[in-house]
C-alpha cells in the first residue's frame, strides 16, 4: 500500500511539473494585439507584460471610428490578422456573431462563478463565448444635490430614488421640477439621455426569429421624447453638444437667455470620470448618483481573439488575465477607478471608496449593486444599425415632422430595405 501511495505521489508530482511547463509554454511566444483604446496598452506595458516576460507583444492602436474598417478585411482574409483585439460595445456583437473569433467558452466556464453575468452574455452567441470584458458599465442617474434639496426637499440618494423609481414616476418628477421652479428646472438636458434607459427596460431584442420587433419600451421612449420636448421637461440640446456640457456646469441658457437648471444626467460608470469631472470641475461636491428609473448599461470594451491565431495558448492566457484575473483586476480597479466585472474583486474593494465629486458618496458600491441587474442577453449585432434608424424616427416625431404611426412605418420600411428584417 505504501509503495502504491509513493507511486501516486510521484505521478502527481510529474503531472504538476508538466502542468507548470505547459503553463509556462502558454505564456510565451509572439502576440499581436490591436486596440482602439489605450487601456490595453496600459495593461500590456504595466501589468501583463512585466508578469509575462516570455510573451513578446506587438501592439497597435487605431481610432475607434477607423477600427472596424482595419479589422474586417484581415479577419476575413486571414492575412495579417491580429491574435487578440479589443471590441467596443457598439460593434462587439458584430464580431461575436461573425464566426471569425476564437471560442473562449472554456475560460468563461472556469471563471463564471466570480464574474458578472451581463458581460459574458454580451460575448455569447449560440451557446459559446467569444468575448470577455474586464469592466462593467452600468448606468446611473447623476443629479445636482443643490437642486434636489431646493425642489425635492432632500439630496439623499435613497430618497431621490423614490422620485424616479420607475419611468412613470420619472415623468411625474419632471413635472414637479418644472412646477416648483416656475419652468427653470428641467429633469434632463437632452432627450437623448433617456435612450439607453428605455432600451434597458426592454423585454425583447430588436430581431426575433428573423423579424423586426419594436418592444413596447421603445414605443414608450418615443412617446416620452415627445412629452419631454413639448412640455419643456428637457433642455432641448443634443448629447455631446456645447449646451449639454453647459448644463453640467450650471451655465445653460434657453432661447431667451434665461438660466436653465439641469437636474440630472444619465451616464454610466465612465461618465463620472470622463464626462462630469473634467467638464464641470466647479460643481464638485454638488452631485450624487442613484439607480434611476430602469437598469441599463452604456459602453464598455470586450477582448476577443482571431480563430486562426497561431498562438492560441498565449491569446487565451492574455484574455483570461486582463478580463478575469483577481490580482490584476484589483490593482487595475485601484489604479484607474474602473468598475470591474469580477464580482470577487468588486466585493473586496467596493466599501473603501468615497468620491469627493459626489459629496463623499461611495459610487463604487452603488455601481456594483446596479451592475447585478443589467441584462446583456438582448444585445445583437444589428443593434447599431437599427437604433440609428430608430433615432431618426424618434427625432422626426418629437420635432413634429411626422406623426408617430408614420414615423414608425418609415422606420420599419428602412430597416427592411437596409437589413432585410
Q: Which of 272, 273, 274, 299 is nearest to 288 (CA)?
A: 272
**404 and 307 within one domain:** no
* pTM for the full predicted model: 0.87
Boundary-marking domain end, from 309, 324, 356 = 356
Give domain status of residue 2, yes or no: no
Q: Return the pLDDT at 353.
A: 93
Are residue 283 and residue 309 in the same domain, yes or no? Answer: no
Give the pLDDT band (50/70/90) at residue 27.
Answer: low
Nearest CA-CA partner of 380 in 228, 199, 249: 199
Check whether residue 192 and residue 277 sit in a common domain: yes
Specify whether 246 is located in the same domain as 262: yes
DSSP state of 240: T
Tell me: the pLDDT tens digits for 99-148?
999 999 999 999 999 999 999 999 999 999 999 999 999 999 999 999 99
Please check whether residues 258 and 308 belong to one and the same domain. Answer: no
Contact between 309 and 58 under an 8 Å Cβ cutoff? The reply is no
Domain boundary among 337, 356, 375: 356
Q: 54: domain range?
A: 29-136+299-356
Helix (H) or strand (E) holding 267: strand 261-268
**376 & 338 share domain:** no
User: Over 70: is that where the pLDDT of 9 sits?
Assistant: no
The whole-chain average pLDDT of the chain stands at 92
For residues 308 and 81, the answer to whether their CB atoms sit within 8 Å is yes
Q: pLDDT digit string (tens) for 381-394?
A: 999 999 999 999 99
One domain, residues 75 and 161:
no
Query: Among residues 145, 83, 147, 16, which one has the least CA distance to residue 319?
Result: 83
12, part of any domain: no
Domain count for the chain, please give it.
Answer: 2
Structure confidence at residue 118 (pLDDT): 94
Say if residue 116 is in the same domain as residue 189.
Answer: no
CATH of the domain at 193: 3.40.190.10
Amino acid at each position: 500500500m505504501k509503495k502504491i501511495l509513493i507511486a501516486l505521489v510521484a505521478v502527481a508530482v510529474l503531472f504538476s511539473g508538466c502542468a507548470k511547463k505547459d503553463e509556462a509554454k502558454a505564456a510565451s511566444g509572439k502576440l499581436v494585439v490591436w486596440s482602439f483604446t489605450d487601456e490595453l496598452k496600459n495593461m500590456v506595458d504595466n501589468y501583463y507584460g512585466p508578469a509575462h516576460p516570455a510573451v513578446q507583444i506587438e501592439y497597435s492602436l487605431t481610432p475607434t471610428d477607423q477600427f472596424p474598417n482595419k479589422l474586417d478585411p484581415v479577419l476575413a482574409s486571414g492575412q495579417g490578422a491580429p491574435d487578440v483585439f479589443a471590441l467596443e460595445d457598439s460593434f462587439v456583437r458584430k464580431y461575436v456573431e461573425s464566426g471569425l473569433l476564437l471560442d473562449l467558452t472554456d475560460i468563461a466556464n472556469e471563471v463564471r462563478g466570480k464574474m458578472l453575468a451581463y458581460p459574458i452574455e454580451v460575448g455569447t452567441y449560440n451557446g459559446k463565448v467569444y468575448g470577455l470584458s474586464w469592466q462593467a458599465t452600468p448606468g446611473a442617474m447623476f443629479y445636482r444635490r443643490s437642486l434636489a434639496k431646493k425642489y425635492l426637499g432632500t439630496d439623499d440618494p435613497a430618497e431621490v430614488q423614490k422620485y424616479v423609481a420607475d419611468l412613470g414616476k420619472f415623468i411625474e418628477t419632471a413635472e414637479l421640477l418644472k412646477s416648483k421652479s416656475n419652468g427653470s428646472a428641467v429633469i434632463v438636458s437632452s432627450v437623448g439621455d433617456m435612450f439607453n434607459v428605455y432600451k434597458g427596460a426592454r423585454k425583447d431584442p430588436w430581431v426575433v426569429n428573423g423579424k423586426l420587433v419594436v418592444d413596447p419600451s421603445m414605443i414608450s421612449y418615443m412617446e416620452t421624447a415627445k412629452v419631454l420636448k413639448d412640455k419643456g421637461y428637457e433642455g432641448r440640446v443634443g448629447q455631446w453638444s456645447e449646451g449639454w456640457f453647459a448644463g453640467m456646469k450650471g451655465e445653460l441658457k434657453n432661447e431667451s437667455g434665461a438660466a436653465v437648471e439641469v437636474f440630472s444626467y444619465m451616464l454610466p460608470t465612465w461618465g463620472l470620470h470622463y464626462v462630469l469631472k473634467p467638464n464641470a470641475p466647479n460643481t464638485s461636491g454638488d452631485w450624487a448618483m442613484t439607480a434611476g428609473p430602469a437598469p441599463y448599461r452604456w459602453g464598455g470594451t470586450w477582448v476577443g481573439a482571431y480563430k486562426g491565431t497561431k498562438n492560441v495558448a498565449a491569446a487565451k492566457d492574455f484574455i483570461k488575465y486582463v478580463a478575469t484575473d483577481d490580482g490584476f483586476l484589483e490593482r487595475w480597479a485601484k489604479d484607474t477607478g474602473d468598475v470591474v466585472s469580477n464580482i470577487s474583486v468588486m466585493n473586496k474593494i467596493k466599501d473603501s471608496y468615497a468620491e469627493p465629486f459626489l459629496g463623499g458618496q461611495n459610487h463604487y458600491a452603488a455601481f456594483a449593486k446596479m451592475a447585478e441587474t443589467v441584462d446583456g442577453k438582448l444585445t445583437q449585432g444589428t443593434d447599431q444599425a437599427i437604433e440609428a434608424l430608430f433615432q431618426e424616427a424618434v427625432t422626426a416625431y418629437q420635432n413634429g415632422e411626422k406623426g408617430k404611426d408614420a414615423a414608425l412605418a418609415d422606420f420599419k420600411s428602412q430597416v427592411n430595405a437596409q437589413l432585410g428584417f
